[in-house]
Structure 1
Amino acid sequence: MVGLPVALVLSGCTSTADAVSPPPATASDSATDSADDQASDLSAFEQQLPLSGEFVSQATATEGTVDIERRSDGSVWVLLDDFHTGDASDLRLYLKEDALVQDADGYWGSAEGGYEIAVIDPDAMAQEIEVPGAWDMPEIRSLTVMDYTPPNFPALGSVALD
């Protein structure tokens, strides 16, 4: 029998004894990291807060102000104040990614769709509405009150949010 030389080749072996650990975080690094982590946990919408604006009329006379705020418990709320609009049986509040713009004829509008937030009371001048899903929303630029009546579903009034 003829012997064949055998060579062992070891590659990719490492020793954990030589591993390098990152330097320990200092107190100021931890505070910065914590603030950065908290900000990164917020949606693009939540990072914009607080937002506010005044209604402009669209399909009917609509007035009032809007404030959107994040409360200490992390919830996000829309506050309507001095709100009133025309006759409508099914008012719904929408947050929209698109800006509110005025066309050459003076009419206000934004793209269709948006995030339906809630049904609102047409007779209540002051209302507080919690925003469901705020933790997952993109940047929001406008708010619209729509009459959810087919076939047109008219926008009664909207707010450009700043």
Structure 2
Amino acid sequence: MPDQLRKSIEMKAQAEQDAERMDYELEKEKKKADQDAALMMLQAEQDAKRMDYELEKEKKKAEQDAALMMLQAEQDAKRMDYELEKDKKQAEQDAALMEYTLQQERKEAERKAIEAQGIADFQSIVSDGISENLLKWKGIEATEKLGDSDNAKMVIMGGGGGGGLPVILNGGN
């Protein structure tokens, strides 16, 4: 066989081997790329599931926090209602006590007014019924009783007012 033909055949065989090796390498790279793609898809799915899980977890936590806040708000509202009711009752009791005190004060003022009117009426009646002569007579009776007592005293009659009532001087005055 001529050299050139043999070289051509060898080159052709070499080219076919190179082509087969390249096909093999290409197939190998394709399989590796497919595996990498499958692995990336699997990893992406896992990441998506993890993110969904985290999102669901955060959603549940947010719901729990919201429920807790609602409970706290309800408790605060109930506590405020209780305090308001307590303050309202205290205010009602204070108002009732004040009303009672005012009624007692009114009754006391009315009683004092009646007492004052009674005293004024008594003084009016007594002043109308007591005459100057009666006062002189009572003065004379008192002087007689004083004179009958065993105590040391000095009695001066006709005490300067023209009424003749005694002026009594005691040892201390």
Q: Same fold (TM over 0.5)?
A: no
Smaller-chain TM-score bracket: under 0.3
Higher relative contact order (CA 8 A, sep 6+): 1
> Higher strand fraction: Structure 1 or Structure 2?
1
